[in-house]
Structure 1
Amino acid sequence: MSTATRSSGVAVASAGRHLAGFWFVAAAFLTLMAFGTVPTPLWPIYQVRDGFGATTVTVAFAVLVVGTGASFRLLGHLSDRLGRRRVIVPGLLVAILADAVLAFWPDLPGLIVGRVLTGVAIGLIASTATAYLSDLYHEARPERDGSAAPALVATAVNLGGLALGPLAAGVLAQWAPSPLRTPYIIFGVLMAGLLVLVLASPETIDTEAADQDRPVRFALRPGQRAAFGAAAAVGFFAFAVMGLFASLGAIIVRGELGITSYFVAGLVPFAAFAASAVAQLALGRLAESTVLLIGGLLFPIGLALTAVSLYQPTLWLALTSAALAGGGAGLLIKSGVTQAAIVAVPASRAGVLAMFFIIAYVGMGLPSIAFSLVIQHVALRPSMIGFASVLSVGAFIAIVIARRSAAVTR
């Protein structure tokens, strides 16, 4: 066998390992994000069992942001220096620990601890997995340098996972025994299996060189701070809609529609998150300016119909409005992630994405908490109109700035 033939065989084997690793990491990312929304259709069960109000439910959901923000801020950049796999593996271990806490300590303190740990796991993995997928794809398909495929897969599995969590948990809560334990046990087993596969995936960071270079935690290309700020603002408003459906969607379905099925309760948040993923897969390859434009149109239309659905409480309208709002939000998130990655210094990509997700996840938590507090004093319907209006105006301003910044960047 000639040297050229051996080299070719090694290159093919290496490309195969990196491509397999790409899908292993994508599956782990998908499962983790699904685990993050498993409690969504279960909130009514917790609410009835323990007498929670809407605010307590929202806070129990949103404390995830505390763990996520701290993890993104303190640890999200580390994979640029320590290696992608060395950060994702501990992240999966923390997620498995969180899963065990939620499964076997279902009281409010356990919910809080489990959700904070879930946030820590998401903070460790989300930005790292996004960067890792880009690295693995580049190693597997070097001839496709600059391809949008890894960013598209990353954002699709991120939101696709958020969609699968409520659907799977709703099915299990409706038809499986122990609805507050069975979903967590199943997801714990899945994450343990994927942990083994991720351990078998190749590392893509030269840790010795990265340790010598000590990449800056957060470094943008010159003159790109406004572009990053606009991208992060788009992410903030888009994730705010996702937070609303994830925290209060099932409770609104139960209270406004009078539907007690846990499976149906999971359908509204599923519709929002699934539409996000589908919109990205269907339209994500369009020009970024077009993606922003379409997302910017679907976003307020979906929010307006969400408010209308409270005055005309029918399941089809609730699902349609959730899908339109979610589809618009998904396109905005995809655009924000892409823009954040573009303006980052390559050696600081994970750190920049970590900062993007900190801002986005704050958007997922704080507006929902504010909304749950407002509806204690103001009726739900006018509160939703105000919420939809504020988010739509904020998103519009962020989109305008982001489109201008993207034109300058390119």
Structure 2
Amino acid sequence: MTTTSQLPTGVSPDTASRARHRRGFWIVVGAFTVLMAFTTLPTPLYPLYQQHDGFPTFVITLIFAAYGLGVMSGLYLAGHVSDYLGRRRVLLAATAVELVSAVLFVLLQDTGSLLTARFLCGLGIGAVTATATAHLAELHAVGRPDADGRFASVVAGAVNTGGLALGPLVSGLLTQFLPHPLTVPYAVWIALLALAFSALLLAPETVERPAVRPPYHPQRVSVEPDARPHFSAAAVAAAAAFSVLGVFTSLTASFVGGTLGLHSRLLTGSIVFGVIGASAVSQIALGSRDVSDRLRTGMAAMSVGLLLVAIGAWTTSLPVFTVAGALAGAGVGLVFNVAITTAATVSSPENRGETLAGMFLAAYAGITVPVVAAGVALTFFSAPAVLVVFAAIVLVAVMVSTTRLLARSAT
């Protein structure tokens, strides 16, 4: 630990601490991005796994669901422990789990191992999401005490979705032009995850470990009683928004390759990048606006996007499907941003990790359950028909949940 005597002349301990926390903020941003990108790395590769093992499209949704179940398990079991174990310690442990998952992807490529690797990937991310979001908020508060606290929430939301967007694009690029497509992307990410682990060792810890560790218990959502209506409205909206990301990331490869007959991993990765990337861009561009403005804009973008999803799927039009994904993704980003901001606002400082974990738990329930339902439907119906019905159901859920959240935000 740096002592006062080791500081440069004219630099106070407070100034040095703020500088360390500002550097730590960007270290966590970088590591968070690498971790989130790893979760969507397999998206363009699902048809290759399908050819390798000869399983039906339904199994692809099960593989994706294994990740979602892993995330929910991680949130339930460890999403809150950083409140007393420390943010950095939990991030380091979760990064180690992601490294194990990446090694499994490289060494084993059968269906059972793929399910295990995806579950482990989700398990680590379940611990990461709420922890990194809380860590960024605390690092920013110390590093820039006079700045607007909303900046950290905007960055956390953008990194969360921006990292998810990078995974399929980079995977598509690596596998379109290089050999060994089921190995190379994961080998690259093993190196990046190792670098992220090393960098996190330099990030300041923002939680002081208690003298007596509290007894362990699974995840609880700690929200002040008078704020619970706001939290529940935001949680439902987050679940509805994330269900859009779930279906695009799990079924785009099947729609593009199966229905449209376009077998380009770069194309698949680019479409998913556009969907999730639009989510990140909308948060960066509009994340500082009033909550009501973000909600109204997000609701409008998601509604138009979902209508175009139905049209693009029914007419098997790639341009319409691509534009629909970008619009829906932009709406997802704004609605999710409001949900995270709401969770951070209504939580007390000592329970911030638990509250954020509860919000992510709701979001990933939304990203998992509809995907499994869509996978079951694909066993009996065509991909365009499934996408049309999904778009209609989610459109209703989006309209109801965001309207309710808008009413709560107004009070």
Give CA-to-partner distance per residue, 1:220-241, whole Å, 9 cap, x none: 1231111111111111011101
Match 1:193 to one of 192, 195, 198: 195
TM-score, normalized by length of structure 2?
0.94
- Aligned-residue offset at 1:137: 0.5
Q: SS in structure 1 opposite 2:235?
A: helix
1:295 corresponding residue in structure 2 = 298
1:203 to 190, 202, 205: 205
Cα distance between partner residues in 2 of 1:48 and 1:212? 49
Summarize deviations over 1:208-267 as a string: whole Å, max 9, x none: 379479999532123111111111111101110100011111111112222111111111
Q: Is the 8 A contact 2:255 2:383 kept in 1?
A: no
Q: 2:164 aligns with which of 153, 162, 165?
A: 162
- The answer to whether residue 116 in structure 2 is matched with residue 113 in structure 1 is yes
For residues 6-405 of structure 1, the aligned pairs below 5 Å read 8-144=11-147, 146-208=148-210, 211=213, 217-405=220-408
Cα pair 2:239 2:366 within 8 Å, conserved: yes
Alpha-carbon deviations, 1:176-199, whole Å to 9, x = none? Answer: 111001000101110101111111
Q: For the residues of structure 2 that align with 1:302 and 1:391, how far apart are their CA atoms?
A: 11
Counterpart of 1:143 in 2: which secondary structure?
coil
Alpha-carbon separation, structure 2, partners of 1:249 and 1:9: 54
Write the letter of the residue equivalent to 1:67. G
Asked whether the equivalents of residues 302 and 331 of structure 2 are also in contact (C-alpha less than 8 Å), the reply is yes
Do the aligned residues in 2 keep the contact of 1:34 with 1:162 (CA within 8 Å)? yes
What is the alpha-carbon distance in structure 2 between the residues aligned to residue 15 and residue 379 of structure 1? Answer: 56
Retained in 1: the 8 A contact 2:313–2:385?
no
Q: Name the CA shift for 1:195/1:83 in 2 (closer, same or farther; >3 Å).
A: same
* 1:242-297 C-alpha deviation (Å, 9 max, x unpaired): 00011111111112222111111111111100000001111111101110111101
Task: Please give the secondary structure, in 1, of the residue aligned with 2:309.
Answer: helix
- How many residues align? The count is 406
- Higher mean C-alpha displacement, 175-184 vs 251-260: 251-260
Q: Matched residues in 1 for 2:98 and 2:385: separation?
A: 38
Q: Is the 8 A contact 1:217 1:348 kept in 2?
A: no
The aligned amino acid for 1:406 is: S
RMSD: 2.1
Asked whether the equivalents of residues 251 and 265 of structure 1 are also in contact (C-alpha less than 8 Å), the reply is no
Alignment check: 8 A CA contact 1:299 1:325 kept? yes
Tell me how far apart the structure 1 counterparts of residues 212 and 317 of structure 2 sit (CA, whole Å).
Answer: 55
Distance in 1 of aligned mates of 2:317 and 2:370: 25
Distance in 1 separating the partners of 2:381 and 2:101? 35
% identity of equivalent residues: 37
**Which shifted more, 43-52 or 188-197?**
43-52
Contact kept in structure 2, 1:300 and 1:388, CA below 8 Å: no
Give the match's secondary structure for 2:190: helix
- The one-letter code sitting in structure 2 at the alignment partner of 1:204 is T
Amino acid at match of 1:365: T
Q: Measure the CA separation in 1 of the matches of 2:307 and 2:378.
A: 18
* Aligned-partner Cα distance in 2 for 1:54–1:241: 18
**Taking structure 1 as reference, are residues 213 and 368 closer, same or farther at Cα in structure 2, changes over 3 Å only?**
closer
Distance in 2, matches of 1:34 and 1:106, equals: 20
Q: Cα distance, 1:362 vs. partner?
A: 1.3
Deviates further, 6-15 or 257-266 = 6-15
TM-score, normalising length: structure 1: 0.95
1:80-129 C-alpha deviation (Å, 9 max, x unpaired)? 11110111000000000011011111111110110110011101111000
Structure 1 residues not aligned, in runs of 5+: none
Between the aligned partners of 1:346 and 1:296, the Cα distance in structure 2 is 30
Tell me, which stretches of 5 or more residues in structure 2 are unaligned? none
What is the CA deviation profile of residues 109-162 of structure 1, one whole-angstrom value per residue up to 9, with x for unaligned ones? 110110110011101111000000000011100112x42110011010100011
**1:194 and 1:176 mapped to 2: Cα distance?**
24
